[in-house]
Amino acid sequence: MDLETTGGSPKDCAITEVGAAKYRGGECLGTFSTLVDPGLPIPRFISYLTGIDDVMVAGAPPIEVVAPTLAEFLEGTVFVAHNARFDFSFVNTTLARLGYDPVPAPPVCTARLARRVVWPDVPNVRLQTLAEYFRVAVKPNHRALPDALACAEVLHRLLEAGGRLGILTLGDLHEAVRARSRPHFAKIRLTDHLPHAPGVYLFRGKDGRVLYVGKATDLRSRVKSYFYGDSRKKIEDLLAETAAVEAIPCGTELRALVLESRLIASEGPKYNRRGKTWRRYAYLRLDLDEAFPRIRVVRDTKKDAVYLGPFPSTLRATMAKEALEDVFAIRRCTRPMRASTRFAPCALADLGRCTAPCDGRIAPERYGELVRALISSLSAPGGLLVALERRMLRLADEERFEEAATARDRLRALAEALSRLRTDAWLTQGRLTFSGEGDEPIELDGGSLDGGEPLIGPCPRERADELSTVRSWVVRHRPMVREATEALSEPVEGGAVLHRILASVRASAGRL
């Protein structure tokens, strides 16, 4: 379609000529062409450009007369124009003003399509330039019908060129027109075998190595979107190395999420940020085989120890450790100690923030009671969290705002870890069957889906993302539990305080 108008704004200007041609399968089914009386003077520069002046349109019908036939002609079609936004906005503004249904969006713009398909082989994407490049029969001359017919021929040539590059459907065409940068059409055929189904996709290099793993609700559409243009350098580099694309359909969202997590952990793809982040997970550990246990930030797990975590980073683990040490005067020195070990105490002992087993101020039995109280507070954290909250509020009342903010961040890191601990405890005990998507149930064995190794705690770092995925899905969807081999339970004590404090510290994060 092509319009001639009195100016560039559909609100202030009017149509002077309409030209349209309807095609199916490359065959012209009919044309529509008429001059239109705009009801206002045509500017001289418009007359000079198009050859249409006030004398030519003096006996032409007004747009109110043209609109019914035009609306009928356009019904059920895909709107195509050169620089389509201009013509599309004029047509729909006019139809809406006169009470007709608008033409469905989005339009197809041959100028934008040409930028994807033939640029930089042409110096510009003006209609006249493209008509000369493709040697079309009808030459554009700034009149509506000739320009529309030329646009149609250019479209067909662009579709021929685009077909060789993977533009095979109307959906492909719209994606190509919307692309933000130069598309990678040369490799788009790598997606031809992908299904329209939810699942996981893998980009592989020439050596078969996995470069990137992702998930999608529609594998074919999602993977094709990469090749339609993405300005991010990371995507450019990924597509440059890609030699094949593999898809693994999954029946449900959770299965896709878990499979993605497992593949990222096992393959370590270079373009997945999460392919490396699992190494950042850390734990808090109390070694019970020591005479005077202390809280350590560690990255490995072993027996005869109590763990809290995994935390997403060493920083979060350290903040939770400092929160515990603010309440429990447990030793912080790193020197190994036996029951008989003695050395000079540090300043924390004189401040009353350490029980100083190093100089015998506390017996191993009493120190053991302190450790057991700390461990007990992890399952029943009400008193612990209230004590930390009071300290934070006291610092704020004393206008020691930086210290109060630090106390808040420590409290939040600890509270979030304790909340995850409770959820993970009942996710990983025995077998659970949830109501899934549709009629298909979700079965977990020790927190693991589809027969994977149980995630009974502490969850190893390389599978922490998998457990996090399951936990997030359960918290977000809150599915009904159909069956459980062991009764689901969690300690009642401290639950209400934990919920309240988590909400409070998250809300106050921007205020202190």
pLDDT tens string, the chain, 512 residues long: the values are 999 999 988 888 999 999 999 999 889 999 999 999 999 999 999 998 888 999 999 989 999 999 999 999 999 999 999 999 999 999 999 999 999 999 998 999 999 888 878 877 888 999 999 999 999 999 999 899 999 999 999 999 999 888 766 677 888 788 777 765 555 566 777 888 889 888 999 999 999 999 999 999 889 888 888 876 555 678 878 888 889 999 999 888 888 999 998 898 888 898 887 666 777 889 999 988 888 899 999 988 877 789 998 998 999 999 999 999 999 988 888 888 888 888 888 888 877 788 888 888 888 888 889 999 999 999 899 999 999 999 999 999 998 999 999 999 999 999 999 999 888 888 888 888 888 766 678 888 888 887 788 887 788 888 888 888 888 888 888 888 888 888 887 778 888 898 898 888 888 765 54
Question: b/e map of 430-466 (b: 16 or more CB within 10 Å)?
Answer: bebbbebeeeebbbbbbbbbeebeebebbbbbbbbbb
Q: What pLDDT is recorded for position 452?
A: 80
Please state, in angstroms and rounded to a whole number, the distance separating the CA atoms of residues 252 and 258. 10
Identity of residue 97: R
Please state, in angstroms and rounded to a whole number, the distance separating the CA atoms of residues 30 and 72. 13
Q: What pLDDT is recorded for position 464?
A: 87
Question: b/e map of 329-361 (b: 16 or more CB within 10 Å)?
Answer: bbbebeeebeeeeeeebeebbeeebbbbbbeee
Query: If 0-12 CB within 10 Å is exposed, 13-18 middle and 19+ buried, where does residue 157 land?
Result: buried
Question: b/e map of 104-137 (b: 16 or more CB within 10 Å)?
Answer: eeebbbbbbbbbbbbeeebeebebeebbebbebe
Q: Which of 251, 270, 156, 261 is nearest to 205 (CA)?
A: 270
Q: What pLDDT is recorded for position 511?
A: 53
Q: What pLDDT is recorded for position 512?
A: 46
Q: Are strands 80-81 and 108-109 parallel, antiparallel or unpaired?
A: parallel
The DSSP code for 62 is B
Q: What pLDDT is recorded for position 439?
A: 64
CA distances from 166 to 141, 150, 399, 483 (A): 32, 24, 64, 48
In the chain, list all ranges with CATH 3.40.1440.10.
183-275
In the chain, list all ranges with CATH 3.30.420.10.
1-178
Which is the CATH superfamily of the domain at 1-178? Answer: Ribonuclease H-like superfamily/Ribonuclease H (3.30.420.10)
Which CATH number is correct for 183-275, 3.40.1440.10, 3.90.1300.10, 3.40.50.300, 3.90.170.10? 3.40.1440.10
For 68, phi and psi rounded to 5 degrees?
Answer: -60, -45
Q: What pLDDT is recorded for position 443?
A: 86
The angle that helices 127-134 and 144-164 make with each other, rounded to 10 degrees, is: 60
Question: Do residues 10 and 151 make contact, with C-beta atoms less than 8 angstroms apart?
Answer: no
Q: What pLDDT is recorded for position 133?
A: 93
Please state, in angstroms and rounded to a whole number, the distance separating the CA atoms of residues 210 and 188. 18
What is this structure's pTM? 0.62
Question: Do residues 39 and 12 make contact, with C-beta atoms less than 8 angstroms apart?
Answer: no
Q: What share of the chain is helix, strand, coil (3-state, %, to 5)?
A: 45, 15, 40
CA distances from 212 to 166, 258, 267 (A): 22, 15, 9
Query: If 0-12 CB within 10 Å is exposed, 13-18 middle and 19+ buried, where does residue 485 land?
Result: exposed
Please state, in angstroms and rounded to a whole number, the distance separating the CA atoms of residues 45 and 51. 10
Q: What pLDDT is recorded for position 495?
A: 85
CA distances from 230 to 172, 182, 225 (A): 15, 8, 8
Please state, in angstroms and rounded to a whole number, the distance separating the CA atoms of residues 97 and 220. 40
Peptide bond before 460: cis, by omega within 30 degrees of 0?
no
Please state, in angstroms and rounded to a whole number, the distance separating the CA atoms of residues 105 and 133. 29
